[in-house]
Structure 1
Amino acid sequence: MSAAARREFLRRSLALGAAVLFAPLSRGSSAATGKVVDVRSKGARGDGHSDDTAAIQAAIDALPAGGGTVRVPAGNYMVDASRAISLRSNVRLELAPDAQLTALPNALRRYHVIRVWRVQNVQIVGGRIVGERDQHQGDTGEWGYGINIQAARNVTVDGTHISDCWGDGMWIGAFGRGANADLSEDVTVRNVVCTNNRRQGLSVGPCKRVRILDSTFSDTHGTAPQSGIDLEPMRQGEASDLLIQGCTMTGNKGCGLEIHHSVSGVVVRQCTIRDNAGYGVLAAQMTDLWVDGNTITGNGLNGVKLAGHTRDVKVTGNTLSSNSTRSLRRSLKALASGAPGGPHAAQLQIGKNTSNVHVSGNVF
């Protein structure tokens, strides 16, 4: 890489990091200041037996067009995920710390406990969402979601614990495909835990400006890819300008974080990515990636793998150790032969078709 090319890439990477880091987390949602409706006033029981779907939806629908807050007090509220709870624009769904939305057992290939579709200015705060993977009545499909966000704008999910879904804990994506895709934009996931879900902790499809902050994605297992976070818009459309900061990805049967084609502009900063069975970070066929200041250790395959024609990458200031635990023999062979990645190939593997890769300040 020429000095001029390196300077230009560093300039663009620094600009991306600053723009995503300091972008506002909210754009004037009126959800927190409008009318307040308690789901119990609409008949929700929260007794762990009654189907409370209609009552919770009635509380949401009782809000005026200008929005407001739906409060869910402590209790276990059973939800028919074949119908789902559908949020409207300008709504804050506020769950008490001991409030839980639990999916009723079903045989569906696809379900949603909460849908955030084609709306704007939405907040989901606190509580727990529990899927029904252990009581699932079918054996096909992999798309049972705790929270599904599609074609939505200015959405925040804060402090929610999501577990035991037949598919992904969360999905952020679009309706439509390619140039016609209606993207999600300005989505913040903060202080969220996604654990023991079957397919992924969090999947991201076509979107713009997504921030994933101080969250944990752990113990995903059941059906591939089984990763903590998967940025996977693939042929559906483009995903751009994503920040993953202060997160923990651990104990997943797949990768901690995997990133595929049609993704550009990703910053992964100050995360702990450890003890996943696959790669710590896998980047395949994507552009503009900055992996900075992370601790990446104990993963079954390479700590960081840059594959395919991935280009414009910085890997800086990370601590990478004890990775490739599943492939020690291959790692020793690579070390002896001087394969790409040199003496640290087990920690950082740079594919031969990658380009414009800058590596500095890492501790191996």
Structure 2
Amino acid sequence: MTGPDASARRLFLQRTLALAGVALLPALPRIATAAANQIDVRTKGARGDGKTDDTTAIQAAIDAIAATGGTVRVPAGNYMIDAARAISLRSNIRLEMAPDAQLTALPNTLKRYHVIRVWRVDNVQIVGGRVVGERDQHRGDKGEWGYGINIQASHNVLVDGTHISDCWGDGMWIGAFGRGAKADISTDVTVQNVVCTNNRRQGLSLGPCQRVRILDSTFSDTNGTKPQSGIDLEPMGQGDVKDVLIQGCTMTGNKGAGVEIHHNVSGVVIRRCTIRDNAGYGVLAARMTDLWVDSNTITGNGLNGVKLAGVTSDVKVTDNTLSSNSAHSLRRALKSMAPGRAGGSHEAQLHIGEKTSNVTVSGNVF
């Protein structure tokens, strides 16, 4: 995008996303909390004993809530879930899990599964508890799409304080149904105080979506099948990702990048994060527009701290601390680059590809 519209868009991102990011989305979903609108899953037969398949009982509790909304409570216990069926949330539902409540996927052979499914609904909250996949007990060797929480074509969604681990694929996915102009995308999604760890493909992936904020969360130790990154914005040809704030998060110990961003993405702010000790890049941006990497600590990553690749444009890299990152696998490519495009003597920390444009670098400590 060029011209006045592009300038206006960048100004909006700078003022709204970076300086007042929490004002980016509408108010968080309000869910009815009166006693008459609350159901405990044990009243529907859930046992939480780590042996019984509690999928039907938990779904019955969700389905018993009136259409006007309410809260489904999951007390302490280990609730086994048939991820082939999944727990499917409805609009205006708050799924409130005790800190020591755990939803655990039963072992399966599936290429694709979901422990919690948030599909084509509005005004949903998932709060607390743990969601655990079955990667160590998985009975097949195909596929990479076993999700802890899968959000598609849904609006005004909050995931707060949930611990997600050991999934065959991604800890979380936020995306769409359909492709291109016909895609039914997710909008206005907040992920905060979440931990995604030891998942097999990604900690969190974003397909087509708009107005997403990821706050004060940790994405760590992703390993098993590529890309293996903490957060991956990867809509590719399916559609667009627009207006994403990643703030106050930690991405560490992932076998891929801390954060990677691909084409059809615009309007991303990565701010006040700690991105360290990932085997790949700290931040990789390839063929995307409107990126602000600001006030982060990016250190100890196996490849560049920040790599701007392809025709990436309209980027600000400001006030970051970048240290002890390595460009060992890119040395040959760096030698062939035009003078001055690799960040001077700091190319291991910041690599700026020769096809990038409108890149501003200031206030960083190397």
1:65 to 48, 64, 67: 67
Deviation at 1:29, TM superposition (A): 2.6
Percent identity of paired positions between Structure 1 and Structure 2? 75
Match runs of 1:50-199 below 5 Å: 50-199=52-201
| Contact 2:21/2:245, CA 8 A, preserved across alignment | yes
Query: Which residue identity does 2:15 align to in structure 1?
Result: A
Aligned-residue CA RMSD in angstroms?
Answer: 2.2
1:103 and 1:326, CA in 2 relative to 1: closer, same or farther beyond 3 A? farther
- What is residue 215 of structure 1 aligned with on the other side? 217
State the 1:23 CA deviation.
Answer: 2.8
* Cα distance in structure 1, aligned partners of 2:115 and 2:357: 42
- In 1, Cα distance between the equivalents of 2:128 and 2:158? 11
2:267 maps to what in 1? 265
Matched, 1:14 2:14: yes
Using the TM superposition, give the Cα deviation of residue 126 of structure 1 relative to its aligned residue in structure 2, in angstroms.
0.2
The residue identity in structure 2 corresponding to 1:349 is: H
Over 6 Å off, 4+ runs: 6-10, 331-335
Q: How does 1:318-357 map to 2 (within 5 A)?
A: 318-324=320-326, 326-327=328-329, 340-357=342-359
| CA separation of 1:210 and 1:340: change in aligned 2, threshold 3 A | same
1:280 aligns with 282
Matches within 5 A, 1:225-304: 225-304=227-306
The residue type paired with residue 194 of structure 2 is V
Task: Give the counterpart letter for 1:26 in structure 2.
Answer: A
Q: Structure 1 residues 8, 79: closer, same or farther in 2, change over 3 A?
A: closer
Aligned residue for 1:165, secondary structure, equals coil
Residues 178, 62 of structure 1: alpha-carbon distance in 2 compared, 3 angstrom cutoff: same
Instruction: Look up the SS of the partner of 1:57 in the other structure.
Output: helix
Query: Which is further off, 11-20 or 67-76?
Result: 11-20
Q: Deviation string for 1:112-166 (max 9, x for gaps)?
A: 0000000000000000000000000000000000000000000000000000000
TM-score (normalizing by structure 1): 0.94
Residues 207 and 239, structure 2, Cα contact 8 Å, conserved in 1: yes
Report the 3-state secondary structure (helix = DSSP H, G, I; strand = E; otherwise coil) of the residue aligned with 1:76.
strand
CA distance in 1, matches of 2:163, 2:286: 30
C-alpha spacing 1:309/1:332, structure 2 compared with 1 (3 Å): closer
Question: How many Å separate the matches in 2 of 1:298 and 1:182?
Answer: 39
Instruction: In structure 2, give the amino acid aligned to 1:93.
Output: L
Could you list the runs of 5+ residues in structure 1 that have no partner in the other structure?
none
TM-aligned CA deviation for residue 31 of structure 1: 4.1
Query: How far off is 1:11 after superposition?
Result: 3.3
Contact between 1:120 and 1:155, CA under 8 Å: does it hold in 2? yes
The alpha-carbon deviation at position 13 of structure 1 amounts to 4.0
Q: Is residue 23 of structure 1 aligned with residue 24 of structure 2?
A: yes
Give how far 1:79 is off. Answer: 0.1
Q: Is the 8 A contact 1:334 1:345 kept in 2?
A: no
> Residue in 1 aligned with 2:364?
362
Q: Using the TM superposition, give the Cα deviation of residue 22 of structure 1 relative to its aligned residue in structure 2, in angstroms.
A: 1.7
Q: Once the 2 structures are TM-superposed, how far is the Cα of residue 326 of structure 1 from its aligned partner?
A: 4.8
8 A Cα contact 1:324 1:331, kept in partner: no
Cα distance in 2, alignment partners of residues 110 and 328 from structure 1:
35
If the length of structure 2 is used for normalisation, what is the TM-score? 0.94
Unaligned runs of 5+ in 2: none
Read off the aligned partner of 1:137 and give its amino acid letter: R
Give per-residue Cα distances to partners, 1:289-340, cap 9 Å, x unaligned: 00000000000000000000000000000000000175496699699x8662
Residue 20 of structure 1 deviates from its aligned partner by 3.7
SS across alignment from 1:175: coil
Q: Which amino acid aligns with 1:356?
A: N
Deviations 1:324-362 (A, max 9, x none): 175496699699x86622111000000000000000000
